Structure 1
Amino acid sequence: MALHLIKLCVGVESVEDLKSWLDERRRQVEDQGATFEQHHQTRMFPKRAPEILDGGSLYWVIKGQVQVRQAILKLRPVVDAQGIERCHIVLHPELVPTRWQPRRAFQGWRYLTSEDAPPDLDPGEADVMALPVTLRRQLADLGLL
């Protein structure tokens, strides 16, 4: 069974905000004639990489709620400009909305088992994403989302 990662999405207000930021970053890279590859750089390389690469996703915590995930395609070791080893978590570009799940703040990333991961929104529930963010947050606070 796949193992997932969970990470805070700092500075982002909503899934739409994250999508907008990613679209802008993609445009900037492609305007320079390069191929866009979405990755997130972290300080630590996961020790349980084979389990993560067996269908794992990165679950994003936005404003205290897990709201969306992206499939993890690769875990790539890199060395930054200061010579420090890092990890690029290469992500599938599709943002998959999940049921909201509250999460306290934490540093870095954490492992997330499939049993503890929130389920994806069903196709019939996808209409919820059209609601204003404040209303979605209120529904989540009531346990309805």
Structure 2
Amino acid sequence: MGLLVRDSGNCLQTLSEEDVLACQLSSMLSILDADGLSNQEIEICLLASRVDSATKKPSVETLFHAVLLSLPGIKCIGHARRVAANQFLCSPMAEKAGQIFVGNTALGGPTHLTDKNVSRIANRTDEHYRQRALHL
């Protein structure tokens, strides 16, 4: 299974087709199983996960997306920053998003990560790497 992500350092506001690259989900998940990887080793693994080695480096968030996509029933991951969320909610897509939310609620509501999964992700080497890379 493949994973489409944006390249590292690219602005979501100006994202174009050239800024999206495919990664191998299995490669991402194998990174997550390795303990004690250095930042450099994680970067090497990120580069190795690309389907096309000529594309740019995947975003560090690719690892987080891989974890979420490995969960049962998850087919797509999307998230936004607060400014982007506000821009979205002020756009013509806001009504469609509302319809999706209502439909989701009618089917039992959104599925959230369990405390166990949140703890597992928060304590992973790759999550620590992501936080350092994003200066969190």
Higher relative contact order (CA 8 A, sep 6+): 1
Normalization by structure 2: what TM-score? 0.27
Looking at secondary structure, tell me which structure has more helix per residue: 2
Normalization by structure 1: what TM-score? 0.26
Looking at secondary structure, tell me which structure has more strand per residue: 1
